[in-house]
């Protein structure tokens, strides 16, 4: 046997050349497995089209200088899997397999819905997270590697109850917390729970998060757009509908950056009490407020009317996919059942690592560090807009990871698009992209969390150069 040993299978588009070296690469210790994999790939890739007759096992074995048993075992394996057919009298033939058209798999498009609110991923506290993971791995009893409580590991729920109570004034009894796969899953479970409890539709902020609206719909709710102004959602407009649920971002409206005004907060909770309605509170980036302490969560005022949700996507990283729900008592069991049927529970190691991160104050320290950095970036944005986009203003409160740039005079939508796509510009999306029924004023939602201050200066200059 030499490495150059090869066999050619005819009757294919171009003739398939099987090299013993390649076969070894697929299965160094198991030649039959390696040959099966080479043939499987050729069938899937279209290089061995349906109907191609494979050489007799004896002849392929001779060409490859392997024992006949190797080829027989490879053929048998692929017959069992359905890639090949063994026909009496006709030998072994390639089956009809759904292969990618033309033999080349379609290119995988990156799934990157634009999101201006990405945190500074380069500042993720890797060393501390690694320590927390190690502590978690060392401290987890064997029994806790089994299927866990769908509501989440008790240690994380205890840490979350303390954290959310202390930082967000959330009332969070342990049996009402459900640890989720980010806010995205929290919203999905919230929608499914409301549907189960006979609530068919939900009001959504307009403009608002396209992703959240989509998730609520996929969860089974119909969505009705409710206008938003500089004081947050228009509660009178909500009350004029027959809805019994609404999804809001009271601490920092996404994307306009408004804070729900005190009178509206009261009105919203009164509406919920009168209608026996539920408020879904999306507290996505409330930790970051640069001009004053963040406004506490609505949930603390009415824990039985508010389904509260949040995540670590803004404070740590969206890729960790950890979030939470704090449910009113009457929805807690349903949400637990829904979480269980969705995916049993969140990964236990990550949950305990986050618990350690919260218990040791590592999250508080990280947020303090990052808040100083983000505040400086926001100031750099204001300076750069002043310098390069005279007449434009930056609206929304000093909070979060994004701001809205608003021109003094109306700017056509294609000009805003050109600015949003300007080479070297910041992550930017026209405000209109977040609108459903309303026609918002022209504006650009711009992310500044993930870019350094000098990049902000250059980015705004580049966008200004593309402005009309």
Ligand X SMILES: Cc1ncc(COP(=O)(O)O)c(C=O)c1O
Any contact of residue 323 with ligand X (CB under 6 A)? yes
- Cα-based distances in Å from 140 to 66, 358, 428, 467: 49, 17, 43, 56
Out of 271, 284, 308, 392, which residue is the one contacting ligand X (CB under 6 A)?
284
Out of 92, 99, 299, 311, which residue is the one contacting ligand X (CB under 6 A)?
311
Binding mask 196-235 for ligand X (x = CB under 6 A): -------------x--x-----------------------
Q: Which is nearer to ligand X, 254 or 271 (CB)?
A: 254
CB atoms within 10 A of CB 142: 6
Q: Which is nearer to ligand X, 318 or 430 (CB)?
A: 318
Task: From 59-67, 70-78, 181-189, 195-203, give the range in contact with ligand X by CB under 6 A.
Answer: 181-189
Strand, coil or helix: 404: strand
Any contact of residue 281 with ligand X (CB under 6 A)? no
Contact 140, 349 (CB under 8 A): yes
Residue 210 token pair: 């396209």
- Phi and psi at 245, nearest 5°, equal -160, 150
Any contact of residue 249 with ligand X (CB under 6 A)? yes
**Type and span of the H or E element at 156:** helix 154-168
The count of C-alpha atoms lying within 13 angstroms of the C-alpha of 4, restricted to the half-sphere facing its C-beta, is: 0
Task: From 16-24, 152-160, 179-187, 381-389, give the range in contact with ligand X by CB under 6 A.
Answer: 179-187
Burial (CB < 10 A; 0-12, 13-18, 19+), residue 344, is exposed
Residue 442 DSSP one-character state: S
Q: Which is nearer to ligand X, 84 or 210 (CB)?
A: 210
Query: Least separation, in Å, of the C-beta of 218 and ligand X?
Result: 13
Residue numbers 111-130 binding ligand X by CB under 6 A: 115, 117
Distance CA 455, CA 445 (A): 17
Q: Which is nearer to ligand X, 75 or 374 (CB)?
A: 374
Residue 94 token pair: 């390639």
Out of 37, 281, 282, 346, which residue is the one contacting ligand X (CB under 6 A)?
282
Binding-site size, ligand X (CB under 6 A):
15
Any contact of residue 182 with ligand X (CB under 6 A)? yes
Burial 50-77, CB ≥16 within 10 A → b, else e: eebebbebeebbebbebeeebbbbbbbb
Out of 42, 70, 84, 184, which residue is the one contacting ligand X (CB under 6 A)?
184
Any contact of residue 254 with ligand X (CB under 6 A)? yes
Residue of 405, 401, 404, 402 whose CA lies nearest to 391 = 405
Any contact of residue 247 with ligand X (CB under 6 A)? no
CB atoms within 10 A of CB 29: 7
Q: Which is nearer to ligand X, 250 or 318 (CB)?
A: 318
Any contact of residue 318 with ligand X (CB under 6 A)? yes
Contact 257, 396 (CB under 8 A): yes
List of residues contacting ligand X (CB under 6 A): 115, 117, 182-184, 209, 212, 249, 254, 282, 284, 311, 313, 318, 323
């Amino acid at each position: 046997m030499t490495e150059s040993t090869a066999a050619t299978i005819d009757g294919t588009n171009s003739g398939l050349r099987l090299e013993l070296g390649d076969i070894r690469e697929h299965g160094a210790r198991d030649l039959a497995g390696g040959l099966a994999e080479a043939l499987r790939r050729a069938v899937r890739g279209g290089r061995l089209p349906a109907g191609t007759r494979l050489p007799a096992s004896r002849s392929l074995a001779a060409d490859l200088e392997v024992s006949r048993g190797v080829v027989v075992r490879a053929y048998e394996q692929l017959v069992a899997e359905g890639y090949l057919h063994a026909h009496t009298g006709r030998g072994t033939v390639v089956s009809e397999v759904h292969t990618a058209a033309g033999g080349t798999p379609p290119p995988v498009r990156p799934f990157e819905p634009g999101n201006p609110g990405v945190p500074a991923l380069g500042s993720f506290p890797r060393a501390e997270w690694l320590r927390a993971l190690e502590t978690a791995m060392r401290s987890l009893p064997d029994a806790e590697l089994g299927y866990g409580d769908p509501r989440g590991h008790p240690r994380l729920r205890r840490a979350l109850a303390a954290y959310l109570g202390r930082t967000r004034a959330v009332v969070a009894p342990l049996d009402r917390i459900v640890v989720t796969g980010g806010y995205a899953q929290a919203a999905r479970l919230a929608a499914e729970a409301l549907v189960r409890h006979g609530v068919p539709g939900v009001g959504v902020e307009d403009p608002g998060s396209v992703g959240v609206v989509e998730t609520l719909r996929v969860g089974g709710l119909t969505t009705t757009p409710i206008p938003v102004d500089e004081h947050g959602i228009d509660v009178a407009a909500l009350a004029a509908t027959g809805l019994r649920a609404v999804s809001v971002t009271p601490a920092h409206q996404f994307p306009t950056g408004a804070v729900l005004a005190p009178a509206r907060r009261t009105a919203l909770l009164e509406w919920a009490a009168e209608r026996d309605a539920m408020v879904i509170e999306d507290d996505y980036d409330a930790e970051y407020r640069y001009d004053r302490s963040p406004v506490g969560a609505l949930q603390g005022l009415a824990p039985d009317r508010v389904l509260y949700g949040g995540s670590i996507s803004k404070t740590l990283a969206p890729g960790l996919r950890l979030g939470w729900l704090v449910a009113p008592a009457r929805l807690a069991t349903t949400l637990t059942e829904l979480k269980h049927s969705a995916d049993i529970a969140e990964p236990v190691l990550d949950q305990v690592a986050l618990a350690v991160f919260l218990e040791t104050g590592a999250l508080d320290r990280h947020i303090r560090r990052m808040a100083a950095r983000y505040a400086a970036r926001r100031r750099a944005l204001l300076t750069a807009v002043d310098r390069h986009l005279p007449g434009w203003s930056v609206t929304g409160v000093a909070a979060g990871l994004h701001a809205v740039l608003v021109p003094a005079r109306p700017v056509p939508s294609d000009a805003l698009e050109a600015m949003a796509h300007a080479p070297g510009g910041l992550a930017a999306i026209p405000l209109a992209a977040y609108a459903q029924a309303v026609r918002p004023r022209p504006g650009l939602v711009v992310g500044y969390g993930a870019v350094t201050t000098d990049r902000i200066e250059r980015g705004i200059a580049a966008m200004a150069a593309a402005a009309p």
